Structure 1
Amino acid sequence: MSVTSKIRRQGGAAVITLPPTLLKLLHLEVGSQLELNVVDGELIARPVVQITRKRYSLDELLQGSEELAELNEQTAWARDGDPVGRELG
């Protein structure tokens, strides 16, 4: 697919426009980021892949605390006791 776009000035920046068809083809939307490179005199624009972080609900976070409490119970023996060497107490 070949698209022609005119460079224009907007404020202090030079701007090109991308037609909606091209955005849809590249799975981009307004606000997406592009990595721009010049290779052999050609401008190459690649979408920047954003790593999405999973959002957890409060219930999911608290569920993890139950597992952590169980782990703490299982390893309590390793934290009990008096210093045996020169470590700080």
Structure 2
Amino acid sequence: MSVTSKIRRQGGAAVITIPPTLLKLLHLEVGAQLELNVVDGELIARPAVAATRKRYSLSELLEGAEELQKLNAQTSETLEGDSVGRELG
């Protein structure tokens, strides 16, 4: 499928319009990211491949939580008592 689109100025950017039929054909929506390349003088636009993120288990996410509880217990007395400076209370 071949479509002609005009380059126009919007603010400080040069913008081209992608017709809805092409978006449907490529399974893209407004806001999707495209990877743009120039090959032999031609502009190639491909859907950007999202970087895969590591999935953490609950135990991995909670790793170290016990140490934080101990630290909070050790420093809890700093929250008690009268102000010694210009703290907000």
Corresponding residue of 1:23: 23
The letter for the 2-side match of 1:9 is: R
TM-score, structure 1 as length reference: 0.57
Structure 2 CA distance for aligned equivalents of residues 35 and 52 of structure 1? 16
Identity over aligned pairs, percent? 86
Q: Quick check: 1:5 aligned with 2:5?
A: yes
Q: Quick check: 1:34 aligned with 2:49?
A: no
TM-score, structure 2 as length reference: 0.57
For the residue of structure 1 that corresponds to 2:37, the secondary structure is strand
Aligned residues: 61
Structure 1 CA distance for aligned equivalents of residues 52 and 37 of structure 2? 24
CA RMSD of aligned residues (A): 2.3
The letter for the 2-side match of 1:31 is: G
Corresponding residue of 2:71: none
| Poorly superposed stretches of 4+, deviation over 2 Å | 49-53
Structure 2: tracts of 5 or more residues without a match? 61-89
Structure 1: tracts of 5 or more residues without a match? 66-89
Q: What is the CA distance between 1:52 and its match in structure 2?
A: 6.5
